[in-house]
Amino acid sequence: MHSQLLFSAIWLPFIIGVLFLILPQNKSTSSYRLLGITGGFWPFVVAWFLYSQYQSDGLGGYCFEFILPTGLESLGIYLHLGLNGISLPLFILSATVGAAAILYALDSKDARLNLYIGLLLIMLSGLMGTFASIDLFFFYFFHEFALIPTFVMVLIWGGLARRVIALEMTIYLTLGALLSLIGLIALYQQSGADSFTMIALKEALANQPLSETIQSNIFALLFFGLGILVSLFPFHSWAPKGYAAAPTGAAMLHAGVLKKFGLYGLLQIAIPLLPSGASQWSLWLCVLGLCNILIIGLVTLSQKDLKQMIGYSSVMHMGYAFIGLATFSILGAGGVLLLLVAHGLSVALLFLLSTSIYKRFASFDMTAMGGLGKIAPNLSVFYVLAIMASIGLPGFANFWGEFLIFTALAENESMRWVLYLAALGIIISAVYGLKSVGLIVFGNPPKHIQVFENQASNDMNFSEKTSALILILSLLLVGVFPKIFSDRANEALEPLYNSQTISSTASTAVSIFTSTSTEKSVHSDLDACEDSLALNEGLYHE
């Protein structure tokens, strides 16, 4: 039953999405709205139900496995679905952002609403399949399947420069996908595995690891291929333009979820299966990750367009994930996973709010805004909270992701120079985030909208509030209780990263996540870590 529910989270949004494409336009009926809500919220309900039923074997195995013949069995390809502690948080992220995006889109006034909702639901179906796939062929297939609606939506709703932007996105993302595909095929062929599943690859390479040269070459293909899909510097220029041109729902799903495909591939597949190759490219992981943080961070500071600022900030924060991967530790990998979830929620929320703000000012130019606190106080509160989450304020999920990555860097003496440089990104984030708050929320409203200051109808409507609440509450949930994902994540990460884990780093992670007293300082947690390891029910189970 559970495996069938997992499969339904993929096919039901797809079927409903196709219905929206073929049924006649009639957005005024409640039945259409109910159909859209069903397609958007069914994966959300299934994801959290499966979370409640998740029972790990302690060895990093998969739960809720579903295998369907495809006719390609002779090539070792099956539709093999399942969730482990690494994919489960991202599966939930996909469902959460998808539910918020669909609900928000249903309130759109676009004349082609059926087409818009249908494409979003098909995209959501691909996202759910991506993070539920154990077979590498379908892992790749579902990602490409989810990309197609993105290109279509940019071409239709992308504004005057939509064709140029869509072409640039196509070139970059096709190049990244091609390099990734070559790397995955090479990994399969060289491993000698009898199927294309992650399980078979791990077993085959555990028995007979590849040579360092082969590992280095394959990892390079995956690193740059998946890196392009994540907007790794200097292959990032497509992302801010694409997000600015895409309609809100597409920007939320792509920046919030689909862009995590590349880092998930490095975290779940490339680094664990190719450890020697990854170590040879570790310096590049650090250097290019720092370029994302520092160079793109400075570019973000100069932005006047709100949507462009959010797009560049999204690219910037991916740099933390790359340097977290470069630590090759369970702590760093766990921090990356939490950061992926946190960033997906926060950037989706920011894109949602940016469109809501645009509706009040009829412009994305922050210098032409002001006084949102007077015009729409609820919207102002949500925007300030979203900016605080993006900066990494304690209490939000982003804090734990960045903090664990910084801790992993600090535990590795040879990488502390990376920590000092990466910490500058916090200052940069605070400057552009608080600057945007000052320009948008405070001051006096522009003269052409001052007449609306006292109208309650100018604040957030039901769809805007509900969509934003789904995302902000998720950020607070993980921020206050990170063990909701970290315990399960460790059970999957430990077998993969155990051989590369620095013992002191693992001990640090235990103390951070298992301390029952929130009043203890970080330093006392670190000092008491080894003594409490045997007593606490921690992130890592021996």
Find the domain containing 470 and state its range. Answer: 285-506
Cα separation, 142 vs 123, in Å, equals: 9
Residue 312 falls within a domain, yes or no? yes
Token code pair at residue 216: 């280095």
Residue 305 falls within a domain, yes or no? yes
Do 294 and 316 contact (CB within 8 A), yes or no?
no
Q: What is the DSSP letter of 414?
A: G
pLDDT of residue 31: 79
pLDDT of residue 448: 63
Do 338 and 485 contact (CB within 8 A), yes or no?
yes
Residue 449 falls within a domain, yes or no? yes
Helix 377-391 to helix 462-480 angle (10° resolution) is 30
Q: Which amino acid is at 16?
A: I
- The residues, ordered by sequence, that sit 6+ positions from 267 with a Cβ below 8 Å of its Cβ are 86, 325, 333, 336, 337
Q: How do the pLDDT tens digits run along the chain, 542 residues long?
A: 788 899 999 999 999 999 998 887 765 577 788 888 999 999 999 999 999 988 876 566 788 888 887 767 667 777 889 998 899 999 999 999 999 999 999 888 777 888 899 999 999 999 999 999 999 999 999 999 998 998 888 888 877 788 888 888 888 999 999 999 999 999 988 888 888 888 888 888 888 888 889 999 999 999 999 999 998 998 888 888 888 888 899 999 999 999 899 999 999 999 988 988 888 898 999 999 999 999 999 999 999 999 999 999 999 999 999 999 998 888 889 999 999 999 999 999 999 999 999 888 888 888 888 888 888 889 999 999 999 999 989 999 999 999 999 999 988 888 888 889 999 999 999 999 999 999 998 877 777 665 454 444 578 888 889 999 999 999 999 999 998 998 888 888 887 776 443 333 333 333 333 333 333 333 434 343 344 333 333 333 33
Q: Hey, which residues does 365 pair with through a beta bridge?
A: 305
- The residues, ordered by sequence, that sit 6+ positions from 65 with a Cβ below 8 Å of its Cβ are 3, 80, 81, 82, 134
Nearest C-alpha neighbor of 328 from the set 86, 505, 185: 505
Q: Hey, which residues does 133 pair with through a beta bridge?
A: 81
Cα 115 to the chain's mean position, in Å? 25
Cα separation, 46 vs 203, in Å, equals: 30
Residue 182 falls within a domain, yes or no? no
SS3 percent helix, strand, coil of the chain, rounded to 5, is 75, 5, 20
Q: How do 63-68 and 79-83 pair as beta strands?
A: antiparallel
Residue 522 falls within a domain, yes or no? no
Do 43 and 128 contact (CB within 8 A), yes or no?
yes
Q: Is 229 helix (H, G, I), strand (E, B) or coil?
A: helix
pLDDT of residue 294: 94
Handedness of CA 27, 33, 37, 38 (dihedral sign): negative
Residue 93 falls within a domain, yes or no? no
Cα separation, 35 vs 47, in Å, equals: 19
pLDDT of residue 449: 64
Residue 174 falls within a domain, yes or no? no
Its pTM stands at 0.86
- The count of domains in the chain is 1
Q: What is the DSSP letter of 3?
A: H
Nearest C-alpha neighbor of 471 from the set 346, 338, 307, 377: 346
Residue 80 falls within a domain, yes or no? no
Tell me the CA end-to-end span of the chain in Å, nearest whole number.
31
Q: Is 131 exposed, middle or buried (0-12, 13-18, 19+ CB in 10 A)?
A: buried
